[in-house]
Structure 1
Amino acid sequence: MAGAGALASCGQAPSAAAPAEPLPVEIVRVGAAGASDAVVRGVGSIAWQRESDLSFRVPGIMTALSVDIGDKVRVGQPVAMLDATDAAARLRQANADVERAERVVTRQAALAETGAVARAQYQDAQTILAQARAARDAASFDSRSTRLVSPVSGVVLARSAQAGEVVSPGQAIIRVADEASPLLIRVPLPDREAARIRPGAEARVTIDALPGAPLAGRVRRIGRQADARTGTVMVEIALARRAGLESGMIGTAEIAISSTGAEALVPIPAEALIEARDGHGTVFLLDPKTSQARKRTVRFAGFSGEDALVAGLPAGAALITSGAGYALDGQSVRVAASGAGQQAAIR
């Protein structure tokens, strides 16, 4: 009791807790969306949109090949021939079978009228005739297939066989390009890069073999599936025509990121992204007036290297990087004097 009275007599209130130390953080400045380097780059090869390997559908000895690399061809033009001896013999045999079956049907029809043969026997003869005609149609088709014709008007890109060779069904003989189709550059891009572009985006393509200004292009198609081995998605860019531009040339494409305005993507250090789910993520910005961390929700579009791609950040904002994982909304923070990120700017 005496001790308690002594404490009470002091009349001293318990001391208040000391204020928490500001959280040390590092920051970078958010750059303007749609800056000049907001492009996706890739290397690809030039090709016509419609290029076809021509082949025979029947086997045989190729007796003639009338075109070579670089030759112009027109639609319907014969370009190669097989020895048709065997096909012609089968067609003659099929024609003879049809003639014999027709005679049998004629004879059976007369006998069936008088009841000399059963009706079913006459119907069997009709079936045999139908089969013979079908076999003749197939033999006729095989005979016509000994001649290879071009399905398009264009140019021969490659030749894979020589006259005198025995060729198999489906074996490529020549490759032709339809010059009425557009010229494309097909660029394999990492899936995270392909996700940043949209059909219709503008592109600039530099061809090492062609001096002068880059070619203008526009994204025509973006693949819907990444290659299982490389993880790349094929992007097709339609190109403006230029003299000397040929299939097989190699070019470097710069494709503009298509999003603009409030939806424009900017890369930020991945460590600044606290969480990401269902296309959205969370970051912390530094409020310069109160020196407090402020939580902000952004649209998240994936990763590019060591950066996260987000939209919804104002240009010039102070983005907290190091220390963001420990910050709370409204918490006082202190920019570390040694933080190299203070002077960094996000591209």
Structure 2
Amino acid sequence: MTRLQRYFLMALSVAVLSACSEQGPEKSVDRLVEVQKFSYQSVSQVIDYPGHVQARYQTELAFQVEGQLFNRLVDVGDFVKKGQPIARLDAKDYVLNSERFLNQIKSAEADLKRAENDLLRAETLRKKNFIGDAELDKALNIEKAARAGLKALKAEHAQSINRRGYTELLAVADGVVTDWFVEVGGVVQAGEVIAEMAWSTDWEFVTALAETDINQISIGQQAQLKFWAYGDKTYAALVREIKPISSTASPSYRVKLSLIDKPDSLKLGMTGHVLFSTVTDKVGLLPTTSLIQKDQASYVFVVDPEAHTAHLQAVTYRQAVGNQMMVDDGLTEGQLVVVAGAHLIADGNKVRLLLNNE
């Protein structure tokens, strides 16, 4: 190494040492974080469930007498009025039976008239002592039997007329025919269902709520309905019935809502969804940016307002609503919680505060 090279290295060493002596230790700066004063409040939320429209009253239609279906007067989908004929049976046998009773009544009326005349004659003869009490009692009994027989025949005749009337099936209410099971020519038994109809009044929306939400609604509570066929239009409804037992197929509870208003063209079976507004008591809202996940637990940073030090505090929260989370427990009213900058500090750090008044 030459003398010139040695002088160069010495000068470089002096420069480096001089630079190190002039640069002092770096001064740490407290992080600026945004904090929010925590408080519990009532929060409203909307729960949404799908469902469909059905008629509150659905009736199975059946003849009260047996016979052969003679005429079908409506089709599935037809609207009918209360008392409108829907179908008829072949009534020939019932007409003949009614006429038979009518002829028997005429014969019984003649028998009664003869018995009445015989009784009147017997009473006259008994007054003149031409006959005894036995003959009078006999005439009286014959007259009573004839009168009773006539009364029985009239009752049977009236019943046969009713049975003949039952060969015509009438709609029990205004509504729509939803199903049909027997065609013309088929023989039906009394009480056999041949059709079904849904009443046009008191339509309802049926849904099923999960067990986690069922206690948040009550009978008479208002709700909003939306139908897929009508876009974003909403229609008012009231909770009419809550089934007290969950479904065996799934842990859900059937809920029926009465329609306060509905579209004019609404049809049975149309689908949509119901919106329930609920209020949750004692819930604190914090931005999701304040949440720290550590060791499978949830924390937020709470700042000491005097020492300006941040410390982790465990919390339990229910769910996120947009960019807000609902805190159930772990914090007290008035605590300062870091809502921005939480991921840039550590437990025990001193911080500078920017207060969020929201």
| Partner-residue secondary structure (3-state), 2:184 | coil
Among candidates 329, 334, 340, match of residue 318 of structure 1: 329
Does 2:89 align with 1:82? yes
Cα 1:88–1:317, aligned 2, differ >3 Å: closer, same or farther? closer
Give the partner amino acid of 2:52.
S
Does 2:235 align with 1:216? yes
Whether the aligned pair in 2 keeps the contact of 1:199 and 1:221 (CA below 8 Å) is yes
Q: Which has the higher Rg, Structure 1 or Structure 2?
A: 2
Does 2:150 align with 1:129? yes
**Residues 118-157 of structure 1 mapped to structure 2, 5 A cutoff:** 118-157=139-178
**Residues 21-170 of structure 1 mapped to structure 2, 5 A cutoff:** 32-37=41-46, 39=47, 41-113=48-120, 114=122, 115=136, 117-170=138-191
Whether the aligned pair in 2 keeps the contact of 1:30 and 1:317 (CA below 8 Å) is no
- What count of residue pairs does the alignment treat as equivalent? 241
Does 2:203 align with 1:183? yes
| Partner-residue secondary structure (3-state), 1:127 | helix
Match of 2:245 in 1: 226
How far the C-alpha of 1:140 sits from its partner, in A, is: 0.7
Q: Extract unaligned runs of 5+ from structure 2.
A: 1-37, 123-135, 284-303, 305-317, 319-325, 332-346, 348-358
Cα 1:206–1:122, aligned 2, differ >3 Å: closer, same or farther? same
Question: How far, CA to CA, are the matches of 2:101 and 2:211 in structure 1?
Answer: 56
How far the C-alpha of 1:229 sits from its partner, in A, is: 4.2
How far the C-alpha of 1:246 sits from its partner, in A, is: 0.9
How far the C-alpha of 1:151 sits from its partner, in A, is: 2.7
The Cα offsets for residues 209-249 of structure 1, whole Å up to 9 and x where unpaired, read as x1412542322421465368457654321222214421122
Query: What TM-score, normalized to structure 2?
Result: 0.57
Whether the aligned pair in 1 keeps the contact of 2:247 and 2:253 (CA below 8 Å) is no
Match of 1:198 in 2: 218
Whether the aligned pair in 1 keeps the contact of 2:59 and 2:196 (CA below 8 Å) is yes
Whether the aligned pair in 1 keeps the contact of 2:85 and 2:168 (CA below 8 Å) is yes
RMSD in angstroms over aligned alpha carbons?
A: 3.4
Query: What TM-score, normalized to structure 1?
Result: 0.59
Question: How far, CA to CA, are the matches of 2:160 and 2:242 in structure 1?
Answer: 42
Cα 1:195–1:107, aligned 2, differ >3 Å: closer, same or farther? farther
Whether the aligned pair in 2 keeps the contact of 1:30 and 1:316 (CA below 8 Å) is no
Question: How far, CA to CA, are the matches of 1:317 and 1:49 in structure 2?
Answer: 40
Question: How far, CA to CA, are the matches of 2:72 and 2:272 in structure 1?
Answer: 33
The Cα offsets for residues 110-129 of structure 1, whole Å up to 9 and x where unpaired, read as 22232373433322322222
Does 2:277 align with 1:256? yes
Q: Extract unaligned runs of 5+ from structure 1.
A: 1-28, 268-288, 290-306, 308-314, 321-336, 338-347
How far the C-alpha of 1:89 sits from its partner, in A, is: 1.7
Give the partner amino acid of 1:186.
V
Question: How far, CA to CA, are the matches of 1:121 and 1:191 in structure 2?
Answer: 76
How far the C-alpha of 1:108 sits from its partner, in A, is: 1.9
Q: Which has the higher helix share?
A: 2
How far the C-alpha of 1:184 sits from its partner, in A, is: 0.9
Cα 1:141–1:256, aligned 2, differ >3 Å: closer, same or farther? farther
The Cα offsets for residues 245-304 of structure 1, whole Å up to 9 and x where unpaired, read as 2112233323334xx6xxx6679xxxxxxxxxxxxxxxxxxxxx9xxxxxxxxxxxxxxx
